Amino acid sequence: MGMTFSGIILNSLSLVVEWMPTRGRTVAGVLLGFSFTLGQLILAGVAYLVRPWRWLQFAVSVPFLIFSLYSWWLPESSRWLLLHGQSQRAVQNLRKVAAMNGRKAEGERLTQEVVSSYIQSEFTSVRTSTSVLDLFRTPAIRKVTCCLMVVWFSNSMAYYGLAMDLQKFGLSVYLVQVLFGVIDIPAMLVATTTMIYVGRRATVASFLILAGLMVIANMFVPEGMQTLRTAQAALGKGCLASSFICVYLFTGELYPTEIRQMGMGFVSVNARLGGLAAPLVTAVGEFSAILPPVAFGATSILAGLTVCFLAETRNTPLVETIEVMERRAKGLSRKDAEGRSEDISLQQLGASPLLETI
């Protein structure tokens, strides 16, 4: 389940990022986050009603059989299809999008010849094959990958470290689960607002640092003040959950389409390593009670500081190729970096038929 769940998350977010126009990416990405929260709240109720673990596992697994049926009708990303030479399928998908958006006439004008000409003029630098080494081969991509490795590992370790230790607060595990889910709602509302009006980098960094401070501050709250301890832990977990969702969106916007899926998959592996490290760090608490909160809090703060080295992506079109991203990072002139060859963004093509379809 863990293996398949990671694939579901990464593919879902990639489709959202690559299909949504620039102005809608933030809201669409955060809606996925609210879906996580809703699932957590439902899980608490189902687990309360279905106590035998085998039946609980069955109850939470069966819906995936239903979801798998309609997932076959989800349209493949036209960006990905264009980059992999499948222009005919890309045209078909774009025409469907045009019809859904009330622009069927414009979609009919979008022919395979138009798309083929566009590919020849804009996608000449795309590699015929990619590998994990492409995530470290060039300076700009290497910087993004290294920073995101730290961020994903630290965020995941701190998040699961808090989520797995629910029973220490002395309340019902079901009640705490609901509380930890409900606190995500206002946290993600704040995250949505700040991502739209302030930016991704400041939002992610602030939430990670605030979460780390909350975890460390909980060390100094007396054991008898369980309400305050639970509230601080819930707030810290809410910040970590919101930063997690923001990082998913931020990562998708940082990587070019050429290697977006590979990049998100690679840094997601580091999140899984962080999840593996969380119970080991928690186990160290048997020898020293202060080590787990210090470790979780410090790694969260470290991740927040690392985010500051990444570029801001608010209101910027997606980058399609590694070459374009490297040129942007080298600080070429605005006309060159944001003109004809910058983003190859389907919603930034002036009067072309590609723009008119979406």
Residue 181: CATH number of its domain? 1.20.1250.20
- Statement to judge: residues 154 and 205 lie in one domain: yes
At residue 47 the predicted structure's pLDDT band, cuts being 50, 70 and 90, is very high
Q: Which parts of 183-225 fold into alpha helices (H)? A: 184-197, 200-217
341's tokens: 């060859």
Amino acid at 299: T
Task: Answer yes or no: is 136 within a domain.
Answer: yes
pLDDT digits (tens, 9 = 90+) for 112-166: 777 766 666 555 555 555 778 889 989 999 999 999 999 999 999 998 888 776 6
Three-state secondary structure call for residue 171: coil
% residues pLDDT > 70 (the chain): 86
- Mean pLDDT across 107-111: 80
C-alpha triplet 158, 41, 222: angle, nearest 5°:
50
- Statement to judge: residues 113 and 163 lie in one domain: no
- Statement to judge: residues 109 and 254 lie in one domain: no
Task: Answer yes or no: is 225 within a domain.
Answer: yes
**Domain with 241 in it:** 132-308
- Statement to judge: residues 191 and 247 lie in one domain: yes
- Statement to judge: residues 212 and 235 lie in one domain: yes
Question: Quick check: 17 and 253 in contact, CB under 8 A?
Answer: yes
Distance, CA of 172 to CA of 195 (rounded, Å): 34
End-to-end, the C-alpha distance of the chain in Å comes to 36
Segment of 79-83, 190-194, 208-212 carrying the highest mean pLDDT: 208-212
The size of the chain, in residues, is 358
| Residue 342 neighbours by CB distance under 10 Å | 23
Report the Cα 352 to chain-centroid distance in Å: 31
How many structural domains does the chain have?
2
- Statement to judge: residues 148 and 114 lie in one domain: no
- Statement to judge: residues 243 and 223 lie in one domain: yes
Q: How is the chain split among helix, strand and coil, in percent rounded to 5?
A: 75, 0, 25
- Statement to judge: residues 147 and 223 lie in one domain: yes
Q: What is the pLDDT, as a whole number, of residue 348?
A: 40
pLDDT digits (tens, 9 = 90+) for 191-205: 889 999 999 999 999
Q: Which of 284, 308, 332 is the last residue of a domain?
A: 308
Q: What is the pLDDT, as a whole number, of residue 124?
A: 57
Task: Answer yes or no: is 228 within a domain.
Answer: yes
pLDDT higher at 323 or 180: 323
Task: Answer yes or no: is 43 within a domain.
Answer: no
- Statement to judge: residues 157 and 248 lie in one domain: yes
Task: Answer yes or no: is 27 within a domain.
Answer: no
Q: Which of 128, 155, 171 is the last residue of a domain?
A: 128
Amino acid at 51: R
321's tokens: 């190729």
Is residue 56 scored above 50 in pLDDT?
yes
Task: Answer yes or no: is 50 within a domain.
Answer: no
Q: Which of 109, 128, 147 is the last residue of a domain?
A: 128
At residue 65 the predicted structure's pLDDT band, cuts being 50, 70 and 90, is confident
- Statement to judge: residues 280 and 175 lie in one domain: yes
- Statement to judge: residues 107 and 244 lie in one domain: no
Is residue 206 scored above 60 in pLDDT?
yes
Is residue 353 scored above 70 in pLDDT?
no
- Statement to judge: residues 193 and 179 lie in one domain: yes
Q: For residue 42, give Cα distances in angstroms to 29, 35, 164, 242, 285.
A: 21, 10, 18, 19, 31
Task: Answer yes or no: is 334 within a domain.
Answer: no
Task: Answer yes or no: is 207 within a domain.
Answer: yes
